[in-house]
Amino acid sequence: MFKKKLQMPLFLIAALLFGAKTYIVYRFVFNISLENNMQEFILLINPFVTALFFFSLSLFFNERRQLKFIKYGILIGSLILYFNIVFYRNFSDFITIPVLFQGSNVADLGSSVLDLIKFWDITLFADVIIIWFIAKKYGDQLAVSFSKRYRGLVITISIACLVGNYVLAEIERPQLLQRTFDREYLVKNIGVFNYHIYDAVLHSKSKAQRVFADGNELNDIADYIKEEATIPGSEEMHGIAEGKNVIFISLESLQTFVINNTVNGEEVTPFLNDLIDDSYYFENFYHQTEQGKTSDSEFIVENSLYPSPRGAVYFTHGQNDYHALPEILNNQDYYTSVFHSNNKSFWNRDVMYDNIGYDHFYDENAFEVTEENSIGWGLKDKDFFKQSIKYLEQIDQPFYAKFITLTNHYPFDLDEEDATIDQYDSNSNTLNKYFQTARYMDEAVEEFFTYLKESGVYDDSIIILMGDHYGISDFHKRAMLQYLDEEEYTDYLHVQLQRVPFYVHIPGQEGGVVSKVAGQIDVKPTILNLIGLDAEEDLSFGTDLFSDERKDFIAFRDGSFITDDYVYTKSQCFNRETGELIEPTPEDELADPEDPQTGCEPMIEKVEQELNYSDEIIFGDLFRFYDFKDEQAQKEEK
């Protein structure tokens, strides 16, 4: 009876099952925003047309191999989809080809990956189980043997559906494939599998870009930087730290929303709150990282270039020529070092650090790491700082020393005896634990300041503290709304949550709160100006944070940006102060109909241009063609 009712060939059953599952994942697992009915329709059809095309390829095989193609095809497709789900749960992003080459990092992830796997995930493979069962029991009846003419017809129909999908996507989002920095738009319009194919093409293109680059591309880029980004640093702050040590502390996953805030009635970061009173504190400072997270943060600070839209520059272009901060400081007789109690090859740091001029990397081998003093990703922050101070006292001065903390890292585990505040109470275990590890890091930084004062290093140093990237992704939006006492998690709110703390602490100076919009791209020229160097001969996209003149915007890797007045993200323009959505001005109300650009529109093209210029520098390794003058030579010339 069952055999008589089964009329549909197996490739169609597989296409329907896999397409339905993929749509459910798009709609209810990935946090894909839908702005209109057309986007909803495109999101609905693209998993089915992609599945139809893929499984119809099985018709070119004989019946036995046809069954094998369908069985293993749906298994591999499900695994690719599932890997994206796990990745998305932590990063709110999709896997790229360069990320796959960072597989050496996976061995160090440990409990982080396990925390992202849910028990109900097994249901995501239900279609695989069904197809394998049907193929084994009824494969002979469901395998089809079409003539060449009918095979061609099926393939033609499936290709026509793919083309139709793309045409609709292009109508909805013109120049879709040129907006490669926005992966959500690509997945929303062409599907995750077509996106992966396109990503592979882009990866091959970026590799070829270096081979064919000849340096002429730098002329337009250099002109743009000189005109748009090269702004003189603050005269008042110029050289204020000349000859002093520079201590840079990277605060793992720390976001601004915890600063001057409480949980269960207690301050989350009491020391960092007090530090505002005698530091320059930038309250509207944004991280600009992408898939490389902490390594992206390091790359931006060291080079004042944007991170790669795919993968981590530390991995994909770690051997390029750069004009990095450590190299510049070396030329000024600074001893440069990094302290980070992790595997030296994680994020390819051992290669990148050597390439950009660091004198020494104090990795996990420089520390005594035991079960008692480590948790999660490694050595606890308090022990990390305590064990670091002996090295800091020994190195030559002046020095530039970067410290990268670990304890406030996902999944935010902390031993019970180290927790000094209670967990938060929400539906997100991640957010609940986050406040405890943030407090622990705050206490560790306070202890480090004490060590610096006792060692005599403090008075001859400036100390810069910066949150490296977000800790709580929008996967935990419900819990965040509860904590922030907000009613709706808007795209505007998401951008505002990308603010991270940034302090410049100069012993003996009071400082003050600075409200100007700023980002990690601005850190390098700021440090150079503080120690008395001019950044005018550099090629970078940042400007001195203390300068009264500023570039017009702070850009994110996905094309979002922030100006003094506006926040632009996901094709929406918001008032920066109120968060109110600004609708496009009707043509008949324009002051100048010939120039319809209002609100965010004047900046969109400029932001895309700047991001593309940064990519050209990195992908083409263009700095190998540029002769950067030694800063000492600059002074002698003047």
559 close to 608: Cβ distance less than 8 angstroms: yes
In a domain, 366, yes or no: yes
Q: Cα(83)–Cα(493) distance, rounded to whole angstroms?
A: 28
Instruction: Assess whether pLDDT exceeds 90 at residue 355.
Output: yes
Cα(107)–Cα(99) distance, integer angstroms: 14
On whether both 204 and 322 belong to a single domain, the answer is no
Q: pTM for the full model?
A: 0.78
138 and 263 within one domain: no
Question: What CATH number did the domain enclosing 544 receive?
Answer: 3.40.720.10
Which of 525, 553, 581 terminates a domain? The answer is: 553
The mean-pLDDT minimum among 57-66, 80-89, 583-592 falls in 583-592
Dump pLDDT digits (tens) for 31-52: 777 878 888 899 999 999 999 9
Looking at the structure, tell me whether residues 413 and 528 fall in a common domain. Answer: yes
513 vs 6: CA distance, rounded Å? 71
Neighbour tally for 301: CB within 10 Å: 24
CA angle 226, 232, 233 (to 5 degrees): 135
Clarify whether residues 160 and 254 are in a common domain: no
Give the model's confidence band at 166: pLDDT under 50 very low, under 70 low, under 90 confident, else very high.
confident
User: Is the same domain home to 26 and 134?
Assistant: yes
CA atoms within 13 A on the CB side of 519: 31
**Number of domains the chain contains:** 2
Instruction: Give the pLDDT score at 328.
Output: 95
Instruction: Tell whether 571 is covered by a domain.
Output: no
Q: Please report which residue ranges of 143-283 form alpha helices under DSSP H.
A: 148-172, 183-190, 192-212, 217-224, 270-275
Q: What is the CA radius of gyration of the chain?
A: 27
Could you tell me if 552 and 227 are in contact, meaning their C-beta atoms sit under 8 angstroms apart? Answer: no
Q: Are residues 203 and 306 in the same domain?
A: no
**Is residue 580 predicted with pLDDT exceeding 90?**
yes
Task: Please check the confidence at residue 591 and state whether its pLDDT lies above 50.
Answer: no
Query: pLDDT-derived band of residue 243, with 50, 70 and 90 as boundaries?
Result: very high
Domain boundary among 193, 208, 223: 208
Range name among 103-112, 481-490, 615-624 with the lowest pLDDT average: 103-112
Pairwise CA distance, residues 507 & 464, whole Å: 11
Q: Is the preceding omega at residue 47 within 30 degrees of 0, hence cis?
A: no
Residues 195 and 339 in one domain: no
Local structure of residue 425 (DSSP, 8 states): -
Region of residue 399 (left: phi > 0; alpha: psi -120 to 50; beta: else): beta
Judgement on whether residues 338 and 471 belong to the same structural domain of the protein: yes
Does a structural domain hold residue 603? no
- Per-residue pLDDT, averaged over 115-119, amounts to 79
Specify if 439 maps to a domain: yes
- In 3-state terms, what secondary structure has residue 400? strand
Instruction: Using the predicted structure, report yes or no on whether residue 3 has a pLDDT greater than 90.
Output: no
pLDDT tens digits, one per residue of 462-473: 999 999 999 998
Alpha-helix residue ranges (DSSP H) falling in 456-600: 477-484, 491-496, 523-530
Domain of 126 in residue numbering reads as 2-208
141: exposed, middle or buried (C-beta count within 10 Å: 0-12, 13-18, 19+)?
A: middle
The secondary structure element, H or E, covering residue 252 is: none
3-state secondary structure 535-556: CCCCCCCCCCCCCCCCCCCEEC
| Residue 268 DSSP symbol | S
Q: Which residue has the tokens 């006292």?
A: 393
- Look at residue 6 in the predicted model and tell me its pLDDT: 44
Domain match, 203 and 236 both:
no
* Residues classed as catalytic: 294
DSSP state of 408: S
Which ranges of 359-428 would DSSP assign to H, the alpha helix?
381-394
Residue 424 CA from chain centroid, whole number: 26
Q: Closest by alpha carbon to 436, among 208, 218, 245, 258?
A: 258
- Contact between 297 and 470 under an 8 Å Cβ cutoff? The reply is no
Q: Does the pLDDT of residue 354 top 50, yes or no?
A: yes
pLDDT tens across 269-299, in order? Answer: 999 999 999 999 999 999 999 988 999 999 9
Whether 144 and 249 map to the same domain: the answer is no
Q: Can you read off the two tokens belonging to residue 312?
A: 């981590």
For residue 145, pLDDT over 80 is answered with no
Going by C-alpha positions, the residue among 489, 502, 439, 465 that lies closest to residue 287 is 502
Asked whether 289 and 469 are in contact (CB, 8 A), the reply is yes
Residue 484 CA, distance from chain mean position: 23
Out of 2-6, 155-159, 218-222, 519-523, pick the least confident. Answer: 2-6
Q: Is residue 630 part of a domain?
A: no
Does some domain include residue 535? yes
pLDDT at 179: 58
438: closest CA among 415, 408, 414, 468? 408
Which span out of 77-81, 194-198, 199-203 was modeled with the highest average pLDDT? 77-81
Q: How far apart are CA 226 and CA 271, in angstroms?
A: 40
Confidence label for 319 from pLDDT (cuts 50, 70 and 90): confident
284 & 389 share domain: yes
Domain boundary among 538, 553, 568: 553
The answer on 246 and 202 residing in a single domain is no
Flag whether 186 is in a domain. Answer: yes
Q: How far apart are CA 383 and CA 368, in angstroms?
A: 9
586 lies in some domain:
no
pLDDT surpassing 70 at residue 180: no
Closest by CA to 217, choosing from 625, 634, 586, 637, is 625
Phi, psi at 367, each rounded to 5°: -120, 155
Reference 55, options 64, 68, 40; nearest CA is 68
